[in-house]
Structure 1
């Protein structure tokens, strides 16, 4: 069976539990990632004479499995990894840590148990990469990225800098325009490459022609992670240099010693580095990166990295660099450098990002986009003709644990707006050099100077509070709705006797009904349904045509771009919100399904769910399931009547439970029939009923005993009914489960396609998109109700109501004997 991404991720993260406690996440990530690498190459390349990686005798994961429980397991794992490293020129890459480090792994039995458990985790069938053929490298590479994201998150501020959030990497890779030049071999470079994730995202954008990757990373272990990351993503030829700071000793140079230049440069350098001058004198820089008077501050190296990037670009090169917002507005020498870069036209654009995105810091950052070709082209243009495109994307994100994260819709919107230079109020605009150079701005690039992204304040109208009426300005703010529903506004409001104000024509309790039943609302809803149906029809045909060997990432790209096109320029519905609904479903469910289809085709094979008790080792059968076609789909299509019969029995059981609870509550109070019982259940009530019956033999007409008898008998009848219902439900569930299981034998490929594409995928996406329409409609209803309630009681009316209430209170006080003048 194909590997599911969700299973792969959970299995890998479980391996981390074996190492928690004995070391920090920044340390145990190295053990997990190296074992992951060994497992992957062992599964993929063992016994393959043409393999990219040669698996030597004694250097495979299988050899490590044989070490479980042995006293010298740590030493022999090191030997196996060393053999693999020597055979493949991976020395100082996969052998940079020791599996016999007692400080990190413990001593004696503790180390043996920990490493044995770790190897056992990697024996999980979900990690059998030999069976995975469809985009296996992407699956593994994405899993590698998943682990690094979590390691970075757990490592905290001081140790999380090795990883650039993948969402930011995707934005950078797309705004530099590498996909437009994918018809030729390109070079890309990252002077502070960390684990290499940013480089790989840019390489992915280059398409089938590929790129030559260059990177430099100061930390040896992190450089090793980058090297493994490259291999796992089929970029084994990537040139990753390690062990030196790029600023003091750049290791990618030409034969004459000058800096090597590249088509594209991307970087996420350490923010505001305080030791960037260590090891060299910038005033005597051999590479001529720093002009006289343009040397960044000694304790802040942000511009040092940006100047290095510019110097490393070819005359037509493009680059993107993540830097803290301070580079946009700080003064002194940084202001001088900034002015020079602006005037030369190097800065094509600035994208302001949300705060708390990065693992090394919580401060907000920005992406500086550099375009050497555009700078050369703009030479000689006037200040009015030259400029910088700015995007304020600081408001679009989702909370993810203790960090913020860009959503799919945020990424797509940023990229679309930047690449197409679309100006959107409060989000983006092109700013001329003349405006930037104006003395009031003085080359300050702080984004709020040019884009006011603040939300419009909901202003309280004093006159409306005093006299009444709803301000027209508030009604007009809902203009998007009045465009979609042209006559609804006049049906809801009528002009007041005062200019600038209107009155609500209906009771506020009737607002929702009036809107939702309005012909224009109904028509618009039908149009939106038709719009979705068109997308659904086209893509249902396409998705049913998927087969073995598909590329899931290409599938979602086509389908998601089509939904964006479908909802472009449609009133009320934000295409990026609709897109996010689709992408949420993709990430949660559809992605796994497509990877299954890519490997196995349209197969629906049920499997048993076996759970092993970690303490006893005992296995328990928890039933069965099918990943591609879950049992609920088969039941809903073929055995809906059986399901509904069970639901009816469950409703009866729920009513019985309620009736039992009511009896218990009624008779458990003071002087109740259940008061003296320690527990109220069938056994205690049965015993109590026997006692009552015995007493009634002598007191046949005792009304209290007769009532108690009736209550006890009713309680027991209900418990018997509950037991019988439980038994009946269980029997029906077992029968239905067996029917569903047997039905899988009769499912044709066409039926499976219908179940998956129509009943599973399209039904879920449609429900989600329709919820967006519901949310939009509710927003209109709630806003009108809010305005109506805000101004429904003007000051004169309030004074009258207060006077009436005061009179009532005084009258009551007078009756009670309290009166005064």
Structure 2
């Protein structure tokens, strides 16, 4: 059975838990990623005869498994890793972490147990089963770990990772296409863990030739491992200071020129000129000016520009300050603008990066069109994001919108436009985006005349023009002309606005049109989903589905195509990708499978079971039981629901009777008839009632209490009988569902998964989006109606009337002012 991505992620993060305590995330990432690497290489070598790495005897993950419980496990793991490193020229790459470090891993039995558990977690992962074409299971898992490591490492140690979402933007706007030749080069002078390079190379159908340099030794080792985990074994990664000791050079000693460059240099790096005399730079990188001594932002940008071919293209992440800071940076900026190298600037939201919370921008370089360039295309994407813990994160729709707008150079008010050089010159070559794009929200102004005399300003109603284009007659249903010119009166009470809109024929027509677009998309791709099979490219599938959905909703009224796109991409992340991954690994027969959930002694169950049969817990990876119930056992479920309703009634009857007949109840008084039937926790239970009746068996008085106890006992018995009926019916239903799983044929599985699960969910999400858009109109109309419902004269009169009534009451009470 294939590993679901979410299951793999959970296991990997569990491995991190084993290391917490002795070190922080910036250190234990080295252990976890090394272990992941060893497991991957061992499994890959066992399954792929063409794999480029050799696993020597005594250098495999299997050798690690044999060490579980060994007193010398730490030292021996080091030797196993060393053997693999020696065989594949990976010394200093995969053997950075010391698995025999007592300060980090504990001494004696503590280290023995910790490392044994760590090996055991990875032992349970079959990474060699990842055969789905185009599905980068390990690469995505690596990204998952890096993101979490960066989050936990904090500002000072999280700079080894560029968020995947930002990497995607750089990779897509730098100019690489599917047709870009494999021998074209991509370069990152500050490559960190290599995510930017990999995202860029992934844009070409056959990849690119990769070059990277990273100053930090441990981080460059991560990059090398990352390349191998992404099947880029031949990528060139060098460890050294790029500015003072650039590794990649031409035969004549000049800097090597690349076709593409992507980079996220350390922001405002103070020690950029260590080991370097910029005034006498042998590579001529500072011909447009020498950056400030304590700020290296432009040093990296100038290095990248010098490292590009005459037709080269680059995309660099830098802090916003490079766009407007003065003095020598202003001079450098002016020179670069005059050279025509800057194709565009994309402003990003604040708090995206792990090393800093300040906002950043992407500067896109294009030497090929420099001489004919007449302006710079600017995008203000600062407001498109979601909150993710204490960080901001770009959504799939934000990425797509940025790339679409930038690639097509589309003007969008408040978001993007081409700024000509004359305008930039008039602003003294200051490139601060707000100077050129006003993305501030329009202020919701109150109308004093409307507050004084009543009525709703027509300018506020006209501002909803996009809705009136779609609902031309709805406006007259909601508003009517006022006696005051330029104002209208409400026709519908504020509380009835939404109901009125939803019931209006124009809304029903709009909703039908939107769902028709979806249904056409569904019809187009139904056969593609039904033909999904082992080995298919999962990422290609979601790309086709999502791009077509976005295209079809481009012309949809009121609906934002990127919002619709986001609905599908969120469902992909939450559910669909796991399902598709399982199918492309194991086929549709996976729908027949129920996994038995087992848990080691002393540990908690990590997954919620779908079914419990005879105390055995089961989980389905593809078809949750409720789908089988809805299609095949609806009558049985209805019977369970009815029995549950009766059980709830019986429970309510018990609770009501106890409350009415105890001293704490509203009708019980101080001497409630059930007061003596309470336990130590002041609760009346069936057992306490039975015990009290037994105690009163020979009593000469207390007929009222006995009657109450017997009534209570009878109600408890009815509740128990009702509960037993529910459990019996539910057990029968669960057994029927359990028996149904192996009986499902392929066509039935496809119906349940594609129609009942995938398409039903997507359609429901789009229906909700249609209503959400309409809710925006309803909320605005309601706000306007309530805002001006009572003009000042009416409010004054109301206050005066209320004040008069208060005075009258005070006089009657003998109080006078």
TM-score, L = length of structure 2: 0.95
Cα gap change, 1:137/1:410 in structure 2, threshold over 3 Å: closer, same or farther?
closer
| 1:572 alignment partner, one of 552, 558, 561 | 558
Corresponding residue for residue 11 of structure 1: 11
Corresponding residue for residue 568 of structure 2: 582
Corresponding residue for residue 474 of structure 1: 460
Q: Once the two structures are superposed, what CA deviation does each residue of 1:419-452 show, in whole Å capped at 9, x if it has no partner?
A: 01111111111111111101xx111111111111
Cα gap change, 1:622/1:287 in structure 2, threshold over 3 Å: closer, same or farther?
farther
3-state SS, counterpart of residue 178 of structure 1: coil
| 1:419 alignment partner, one of 398, 407, 411 | 407
Q: 1:416 Cα deviation (Å)?
A: 0.5
Does residue 398 of structure 1 match 2:396? no
Corresponding residue for residue 89 of structure 2: 89
Cα gap change, 1:76/1:629 in structure 2, threshold over 3 Å: closer, same or farther?
same
Corresponding residue for residue 759 of structure 1: 756
Q: Once the two structures are superposed, what CA deviation does each residue of 1:547-586 show, in whole Å capped at 9, x if it has no partner?
A: 1111100000000001101110211111111111111110
Q: 1:818 Cα deviation (Å)?
A: 2.1
| 2:516 alignment partner, one of 525, 530, 537 | 530
3-state SS, counterpart of residue 321 of structure 1: strand
Alignment of 1:71-220 (within 5 A): 71-124=71-124, 127-135=125-133, 138-179=136-177, 181-183=179-181, 185-208=183-206, 210-220=207-217
Corresponding residue for residue 587 of structure 2: 601
| 2:483 alignment partner, one of 489, 497, 504 | 497
Does residue 61 of structure 1 match 2:75? no
CA distance in 2, matches of 1:458, 1:406: 27
Corresponding residue for residue 354 of structure 1: 349
CA distance in 2, matches of 1:486, 1:134: 51
Corresponding residue for residue 422 of structure 2: 434
Q: 1:709 Cα deviation (Å)?
A: 4.2
The answer on whether the counterparts of 2:181 and 2:208 sit within 8 Å (CA) in structure 1 is: no
3-state SS, counterpart of residue 644 of structure 2: helix
| 1:301 alignment partner, one of 291, 296, 307 | 296
Q: Once the two structures are superposed, what CA deviation does each residue of 1:39-72 show, in whole Å capped at 9, x if it has no partner?
A: 0111110386543211111100110111111121
Corresponding residue for residue 685 of structure 1: 689
Q: Once the two structures are superposed, what CA deviation does each residue of 1:379-403 show, in whole Å capped at 9, x if it has no partner?
A: xxxxxxx111111111111111111
The answer on whether the counterparts of 1:625 and 1:631 sit within 8 Å (CA) in structure 2 is: no
The answer on whether the counterparts of 1:132 and 1:599 sit within 8 Å (CA) in structure 2 is: yes
Corresponding residue for residue 383 of structure 1: none
CA distance in 1, matches of 2:480, 2:459: 14
CA distance in 1, matches of 2:47, 2:357: 48
| 1:654 alignment partner, one of 644, 648, 658 | 648
| 1:445 alignment partner, one of 415, 431, 434 | 431
CA distance in 1, matches of 2:237, 2:697: 90
3-state SS, counterpart of residue 122 of structure 1: helix
The answer on whether the counterparts of 2:647 and 2:726 sit within 8 Å (CA) in structure 1 is: no
3-state SS, counterpart of residue 428 of structure 2: coil
The answer on whether the counterparts of 2:134 and 2:538 sit within 8 Å (CA) in structure 1 is: no
The answer on whether the counterparts of 1:19 and 1:114 sit within 8 Å (CA) in structure 2 is: yes
Alignment of 1:781-800 (within 5 A): 781-800=778-797
Corresponding residue for residue 527 of structure 2: 541
CA distance in 2, matches of 1:417, 1:666: 68
Which structure 2 segments of 5+ residues have no match? 607-611
Corresponding residue for residue 507 of structure 2: 521
Does residue 733 of structure 1 match 2:710? no
CA distance in 1, matches of 2:444, 2:603: 62
CA distance in 1, matches of 2:778, 2:102: 65
CA distance in 1, matches of 2:491, 2:464: 17
The answer on whether the counterparts of 2:248 and 2:255 sit within 8 Å (CA) in structure 1 is: yes
The answer on whether the counterparts of 1:129 and 1:136 sit within 8 Å (CA) in structure 2 is: no
CA distance in 2, matches of 1:605, 1:663: 48
Q: Once the two structures are superposed, what CA deviation does each residue of 1:348-401 show, in whole Å capped at 9, x if it has no partner?
A: 1111111110000010000000000110333xxxxxxx1111111111111111
3-state SS, counterpart of residue 330 of structure 1: coil
Corresponding residue for residue 319 of structure 2: 324
Does residue 769 of structure 1 match 2:766? yes
Q: Once the two structures are superposed, what CA deviation does each residue of 1:564-611 show, in whole Å capped at 9, x if it has no partner?
A: 011102111111111111111101111011111111111123234333
Does residue 338 of structure 1 match 2:325? no
The answer on whether the counterparts of 1:192 and 1:218 sit within 8 Å (CA) in structure 2 is: yes
RMSD: 1.8
Which structure 1 segments of 5+ residues have no match? 379-385
**Stretches of 4+ aligned residues off by more than 6 angstroms:** 616-620
Q: 1:133 Cα deviation (Å)?
A: 1.4
Q: Once the two structures are superposed, what CA deviation does each residue of 1:748-787 show, in whole Å capped at 9, x if it has no partner?
A: 2111111111001001111111111111111211211111
CA distance in 2, matches of 1:211, 1:191: 16
Greater CA drift, 714-723 or 807-816: 714-723
TM-score, L = length of structure 1: 0.95
CA distance in 1, matches of 2:466, 2:721: 58
CA distance in 1, matches of 2:375, 2:200: 26
Greater CA drift, 779-788 or 181-190: 181-190
Q: 1:149 Cα deviation (Å)?
A: 0.6
The answer on whether the counterparts of 2:333 and 2:429 sit within 8 Å (CA) in structure 1 is: yes
| 1:747 alignment partner, one of 725, 744, 747 | 744
Cα gap change, 1:651/1:311 in structure 2, threshold over 3 Å: closer, same or farther?
same
The answer on whether the counterparts of 2:674 and 2:709 sit within 8 Å (CA) in structure 1 is: no
The answer on whether the counterparts of 2:311 and 2:368 sit within 8 Å (CA) in structure 1 is: yes
CA distance in 2, matches of 1:720, 1:495: 67
Q: Once the two structures are superposed, what CA deviation does each residue of 1:9-55 show, in whole Å capped at 9, x if it has no partner?
A: 00000000000010010000000000100001111103865432111
CA distance in 1, matches of 2:414, 2:516: 32
CA distance in 2, matches of 1:48, 1:56: 15
Cα gap change, 1:618/1:574 in structure 2, threshold over 3 Å: closer, same or farther?
closer
Q: 1:180 Cα deviation (Å)?
A: 5.7
Cα gap change, 1:712/1:608 in structure 2, threshold over 3 Å: closer, same or farther?
farther
Q: 1:617 Cα deviation (Å)?
A: 11
CA distance in 2, matches of 1:622, 1:540: 36
Corresponding residue for residue 599 of structure 2: 612
